[in-house]
């Protein structure tokens, strides 16, 4: 049992460390990937703003978690910082890292996300995965996508309740059948970054 507890502690530490720092260079590199990843590229010109998370680390053994930090942008200018946290319970083993971007269709969706503690439940997300295939379904419909590597990732998806979410796997291997939602927190910058 002590080995199990140590393994969980190590996985959580790796998750938190891998996603603890986000810089302007990381934001720019991640934005470039999403701009060149098929349908997600068209959202930059047709959205009120977006939140970008260069690296979200995820890991678990029975109980798991994910964490990442990112920036929130309106008209290409960073106006705030955000973090994402997820706790999952269920069959899971391993760790992975991925990038995520959330587009806000209008000011109402942006205001909802930046109002404090925002949480996604089981809504559908469109996923672009490196060297793999992803599919998702919910009451909003279904989606699927595939790609060969990070530089040739493709995305498929649309807005759901004013937000569109795209992810691209960066690495790792994780087996899971879990329940859990992502919670986001937001902090406005005192002086927006150009």
Q: Is 22 helix (H, G, I), strand (E, B) or coil?
A: coil
CA distance 74 to 72: 7
Query: Which of the two residues, 174 and 150, has the higher pLDDT score?
Result: 174
Portion of the chain with pLDDT greater than 70, in percent: 63
Instruction: Please provide the average confidence, as pLDDT, over all residues in the chain.
Output: 73
pTM across the whole model: 0.73
- List, for residues 88-133, the tens digit of each pLDDT value: 777 777 888 889 999 999 999 999 999 977 877 554 343 443 433 3
Average pLDDT for 65-83 = 94
Closest Cα to residue 94, out of 33, 176, 163, 39? 176
Residue with tokens 């991640």: 30
CA distance 48 to 107: 6
Closest Cα to residue 31, out of 126, 166, 147? 166
Helices (H), strands (E): how many in the chain? 4, 8
Contacts of 17 (CB under 8 A, 6+ apart): 57
Contacts of 9 (CB under 8 A, 6+ apart): none
Q: Is 105 helix (H, G, I), strand (E, B) or coil?
A: coil
């Amino acid at each position: 049992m002590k080995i199990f507890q140590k393994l969980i502690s190590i996985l959580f530490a790796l998750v938190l460390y891998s996603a603890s720092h986000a810089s302007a260079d990381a934001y720019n590199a991640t934005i470039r990937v999403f701009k060149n990843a098929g349908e997600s590229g068209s959202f930059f010109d047709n959205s009120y703003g977006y939140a970008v998370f260069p690296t979200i680390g995820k890991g678990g053994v029975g109980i798991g978690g994910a964490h990442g930090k990112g920036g929130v942008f309106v008209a290409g200018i960073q106006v705030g910082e955000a973090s994402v946290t997820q706790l999952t319970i269920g069959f899971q083993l391993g760790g992975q890292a991925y990038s995520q971007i959330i587009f806000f269709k209008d000011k109402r969706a942006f205001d909802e996300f930046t109002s404090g503690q925002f949480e996604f439940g089981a809504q559908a997300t469109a996923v672009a995965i490196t060297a793999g295939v992803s599919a998702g379904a919910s009451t909003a419909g279904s989606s699927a996508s595939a790609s060969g590597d990070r530089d040739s990732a493709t995305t498929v998806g649309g807005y759901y309740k004013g937000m569109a979410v795209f992810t691209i796997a960066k690495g790792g291997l994780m087996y899971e059948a879990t329940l859990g939602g992502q919670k986001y927190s937001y902090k406005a910058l005192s002086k927006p970054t150009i």
